[in-house]
Structure 1
Amino acid sequence: MLILTFRFLLVDLSLYLKLSDLVVSQARVWGFICNYRESNSSWSIAPKKISQRWRLLQAEDRWVLMIGEVSQLYLNAEEAIAFLEARQRKKTK
C-alpha cells in the first residue's frame, strides 16, 4: 500500500512540475519576467511594464492572479497560459 501511494505521489509531482514548467516556458517565450523563489520553491510571472500591476504566483499546482497585493483568481495551468496569451495579444496590438 505504501509503495502504491508513493508511486502515485511521484506521478502527481511529475505532472505538477511539467505543468508549471510549461506555463513558465511559455511566459518566457512571450517576454514576461519569470522569477524563481528558492525560499518557497515557486515561480512568479510579471509583465515587463511596471505600470501593469498584475502578476501570477505559483501556489502548488495552481497560479494565483494578483492585482496589486490582492489575490483575484486561482488558475490552473491551462487558464494561466490563456491569461498570459490574452496579455500577449493586448501587448502586440
Structure 2
Amino acid sequence: MPRLQWRGRCTGQACPDLFFHAATRLGVDVRRCVVIDDSVTGITAAMAAGAQAICFTGASHVEPGHATRLKEAGASCVVSTAPDLAVLLQPEAA
C-alpha cells in the first residue's frame, strides 16, 4: 500500500491528517475509506485526503442550504436520515 502524505498547510479542522492516521491504523488505503461528516471543513479534509465523502444533514443544527455547500465542497452524496445512511453503507450484492 502506498503511503500517502499531506503536504499542505493545516488550518483548524480542515486537516486531512486525521483521515491518514485512521486509515494507517486500520491498515487500509485512505482512498478506500468513506468519511461521513456534516461540516464543510470535514468534507474538505476528507477530499484532500483522497477519501470518499458523504454529507449527513440530519442533525438539528443543519440550516437550509447547508447540503448545497457540502456538495460544493466535494461530498459525493447527501444523506438526511440515519436509516438512509445505513442503506447507503450496505455492501453491494455480488
More strand by share: 1
More helix by share: 1
User: Common fold, TM-score beyond 0.5?
Assistant: no
Q: More relative contact order in 1 or in 2 (CA 8 Å, sep 6+)?
A: 2
Give the alignment's TM-score, normalised by structure 2: 0.28
Give the alignment's TM-score, normalised by structure 1: 0.29
- The structure whose Rg is larger is 1
